[in-house]
Amino acid sequence: MKLNDLMQRVDELIQLGQTVLATEYQSSHFQFVEPIKFQSFRSASLSFLLNSFGKDHPYYVEFDRLVTQSGPDYVKDGLGILQAAHDEMAGGWALNVKSIISAEVFADFIDMASYLLQEGYKDAAAVMVGSILEEHLRQLCRKAGIDIEKVRTDGSKEPRKADSLNADLVKQGVYYLLDLKNVTAWLDLRNDAAHGRYDKYTKEQVDIMARGVTEFIARVIV
């Protein structure tokens, strides 16, 4: 999902909250809003904040704590939180949103690789997609606190190989065995392309790789 998609979704939730406010009515000297619409607003907003910012982020925590009853003041509290989230996304300040921006950059390179593939340059496309995948693995390692470099005997450092990063990410539970196998296969294909073993794979396999890496990056976000 791209940043524009997230911005559109938070705008939709703000509009939903305003629609809920429009159902305000009075009963026994208290103000209420339509409860089913309120619950839809609460559930959808919590899902969005959880997926976009995480369960420990103040936006999610405060929305869950404050927006609890079907009254207009509760809806207004929720709208304030969503507006703050909107502004933070628009400014590019949220950590997870920065990750989305990175994913957009990756998507641009995937598009370039797809173009190369369509023009018959399967080998260049394979190398490009593999490089995108390896950089994503490094970003995932940074987030998980996994070293992306190893120390040589002389004290200098060198980048760790992608296969090693892949294994450590699974050990940390960032993703699981099926993804490990897919990433291993994609890295093998990239290595064949990088070392001139062009007869080891087909254009169709590179196409499958590109689509698989795109899905993986979108799903296993930094």
- List the domains of the chain with CATH numbers: 3-91 (no CATH), 95-219 (1.20.120)
pLDDT bin (cut points 50, 70, 90) of residue 194 is: confident
Question: How far lies 35's CA from each of 12, 16, 72, in Å?
Answer: 19, 13, 11
pLDDT at 206: 94
Q: How confident is the model at residue 91 (pLDDT cuts 50, 70, 90)?
A: low
Q: How far apart are CA 126 and CA 132, in angstroms?
A: 10
Residue with tokens 């559930």: 43
Per-residue confidence (pLDDT) for residue 103, from 0 to 100: 57
pLDDT at 42 exceeding the cut of 60:
yes
The pLDDT of residue 100 is above 60? no
Asked if the model's pLDDT at residue 1 lies above 90, the reply is no
- Decide: 126 and 201 in contact? Cβ < 8 Å: yes
21, pLDDT greater than 90? yes
* C-beta pairs of 13-22 under 8 Å, 24+ apart in sequence: 13/41, 13/44, 13/45, 13/48, 13/82, 14/79, 14/82, 14/83, 14/86, 16/40, 16/41, 16/44, 17/41, 17/45, 17/75, 17/78, 17/79, 17/82, 18/79, 20/75, 21/72, 21/75, 21/76, 21/79
Mean pLDDT over all residues of the chain?
86
158 falls in which pLDDT band (50, 70, 90)?
confident
- What pTM did the predictor assign? 0.55
Task: Kindly tell me if the per-residue pLDDT of 170 is higher than 60.
Answer: yes
Is 80 exceeded by the pLDDT of residue 131? Answer: yes
